[in-house]
Amino acid sequence: MRIPRSPVAAAALLLATPVATALTPQPRALAAPPGGRTVIVQLFQWPWKSVAAECETFLGRKGYGAVQVSPPHEHVVLPDAGDGGHPWWQDYQPVSYDLDRLRTRRGDLADFKDMVARCHAGGVKIYADAVVNHTTGVSGGQGSAGTRFPDKYTYPGTFSDADFHTCRRPIRDYRDRWEVQNCELENLADLKTESPYVRTRLGRYLKDLASLGVDGFRLDASKHMPAADIAAILRETRAHIDADPSYTGTRDPYVYQEVLYGSGEPVRPSEYRGNGDLKEVQAMNFISRKFWSAADPADRIHQLHAFPVGWGDDMEAGDRAVVMVDNHDSQRDALPAADGGQDRQILTYKKGAAYRLANVFLLGWDYGTPLVMSSFGFTRRDTSPPRTADGTTTPVTCDGANWICEHRHSETADMVGFRNAVGDTPVNKAADAPEQDWYSDRSEGGPGNKIAFSRGAKGYVVINRDETTGWNRTYRTRLPAGRYCNVIGGDHDPAARSCKATHVVTVAADGTFTADVPRMSALALHVGATVEGPGGTPDTVINVHRDVGWGNRITLRGGTAPLSWSAGHDCVNHSAALWRCTVKGVPAGRPFEYKPLINDTRWSLGPNHTATGGQTVDIHPTF
**Looking at this protein, which amino acid is placed at residue 401?**
A
Q: Are 94 and 101 in contact (CB under 8 A)?
A: no
In the beta sheet, which residues pair with residue 126? 67
Catalytic residue among 258, 329, 366, 414: 258
Give the whole-angstrom CA distance, residue 620 versus residue 610.
Answer: 13
Give the strand pairing for 66-69 and 40-43.
parallel
Catalytic residue among 220, 236, 280, 316: 220
Give the whole-angstrom CA distance, residue 43 versus residue 393.
Answer: 13
Mark whether 319 is an active-site residue.
Answer: no
Cβ-Cβ contacts under 8 Å for 390 (sequence gap 6 or more): none
CA 520 to chain centre: 24
The radius of gyration of the chain from alpha carbons, rounded to an integer in Å, stands at 26
Mapping DSSP onto H, E and C, the string for 19-64 reads CCCCCCCCCHHHCCCHHHCCCEEEECCCCHHHHHHHHHHHHHHHCC
Mark whether 258 is an active-site residue.
Answer: yes
H or E element, residue 279: strand 277-279
Give the whole-angstrom CA distance, residue 149 versus residue 87.
Answer: 20
Q: How would DSSP label each residue in 335-353?
A: S-GGGT--------GGGTH
Q: Are 43 and 51 in contact (CB under 8 A)?
A: yes
Q: How would DSSP label each residue in 485-510?
A: E--SSS--BTTTTB--GGGEEEEPTT
Phi then psi dihedrals of residue 554, to 5 deg: -110, 140
Residues counted in the chain? 623
Closest residue by Cα to residue 611 from 564, 542, 556: 542
Q: Where are the alpha helices (DSSP H) in 38-141?
A: 48-54, 60-62, 109-121
Cβ-Cβ contacts under 8 Å for 618 (sequence gap 6 or more): 543, 545
Residue 496, Cβ neighbours under 10 Å: how many? 9
Can you tell me whether residue 207 is helix, strand or coil?
Answer: helix
Give the whole-angstrom CA distance, residue 438 versus residue 451.
Answer: 7
Give the whole-angstrom CA distance, residue 359 versus residue 343.
Answer: 21
Q: At what angle do helices 227-242 and 196-211 cross, to 10 degrees?
A: 50
Q: In whole angstroms, how far apart are CA 377 and each of 106, 349, 400, 523, 562?
A: 17, 9, 8, 28, 40
Report angle CA 9, 12, 14 to the nearest 5 degrees: 110
Residue 323, Cβ neighbours under 10 Å: how many? 26
Q: Are 340 and 87 in contact (CB under 8 A)?
A: no
Active-site residues, by number, are 220, 258
